[in-house]
Amino acid sequence: MPASQHTQAKIRGKVVTLSNLDKVFYPATGFTKGDVISYYSAVAPVLLPHLKNRPTTLKRYPDGVEGNFFYEKQCPSHAPEWIKTTPVAKGNGEIINYCLIQDEPSLVWAANIANLELHPFQHRARALTRPTALVFDLDPGPPADVLDCARVAVRIRDVFDGLGLRSFVKTSGSKGLQLVLPLNTPVTYDRTKEWAQAIAQLMAAKLPNEVVSKMTRLLRKGKVFIDWSQNDDTKTTVAVYSLRAKDRPTVSTPLEWTELENALRRKKAYLLVFDTKAVLKRVKEKGDLFSEVLTLKQKLPTLGRVDWAES
């Protein structure tokens, strides 16, 4: 159909208006807005559980990945009435009504308004002060790369293993990795942030030539920055299975630890990069490798045990 033509699709009982489906969003590969919508529709069964009831920031690219973008916290006023929202108060008392992406129609609607990336909070709408997980964003400072992040992720995993805690890892879909420790038990952001900072500082002390825990950009060259500050009620993290606005339609992809170790052993960074086609194939073969992140209940032990576990 012509690029400017609008059409309506009925998805699970809801009518969604679609437009400009032929518009190219990823010029390097020819990946169109229609392709974005098709991907999100196909990945919805495994993605939606990770978004359900979580206030979500949209990241919109009206002219594709080479154009300008903007973050949208306030759910757009033109959203259909069936798009659910949840109020979140800012520090100054202002209320932001975030979108809740609860179902496939909502996901398709978001994709149609040129939202490429989904950034939910670590908490759910009814428990705004209770994170369900502890998260690390591992960001490589060039010439460090994703393999350097992988080495650090394995070391952090080993710390958690020593404490009897299971952690999970995913690609960011961009340069680095994200490590997630599911909790799903009563905990505060003050607690998860304190813990995350302690782990980051421990890694920086143990691996001073490889890791930095301070946010100063000048310190990051050739090292992996462990961003522990994600553990805050004002911060969002890109959702697992979300597209990223890179040259190719890469995806934040859950990994098995053995895959990460294999890429390290073979020194092949490309083994840790996945586009939409690869992700849908993985989902078909492996299911949702992050499903337990939503259900596994774990409690953070006494902080003083961290160094003991690593030594």
Given this model, what pLDDT does residue 92 score?
Answer: 84
pLDDT reading at 56 higher than 50: yes
In sequence order, the β-bridge partners of residue 86 are: 98
Q: Which residue has the higher pLDDT, 303 or 12?
A: 12
Domain extent listing, the chain? 6-120, 133-310
Residue 34, token pair as written in the block:
């229609």
> 11-41 pLDDT, tens per residue?
999 999 999 999 999 999 999 999 999 999 9
Percent of the chain at pLDDT above 90? 89
Alpha-carbon torsion, ordered 121, 271, 292, 129, to 10 deg: -20
Whether 44 has a pLDDT exceeding 90, the answer reads: yes
CA distances from 67 to 61, 75, 111, 243, 245 (A): 7, 22, 16, 16, 10
Q: Check residue 302 and give its pLDDT.
A: 85
Give whole-number Cα distances, 60 to 7, 24, 102, in Å. Answer: 21, 14, 18
Q: Which of 34, 172, 173, 58 is nearest to 106 (CA)?
A: 58
* Amino acid letter, residue 144: A
As a whole number, mean pLDDT of residues 174-188 equals 97
Closest CA to 135 of 100, 160, 99: 160
Instruction: Report the top-level CATH class of 6-120.
Output: alpha beta
Query: Topology of 133-310 in CATH?
Result: Alpha-Beta Plaits (3.30.70)
Query: Does the fold of domain 133-310 match that of domain 6-120?
Result: no
pLDDT reading at 308 higher than 60: no
More confident residue, 238 or 304: 238
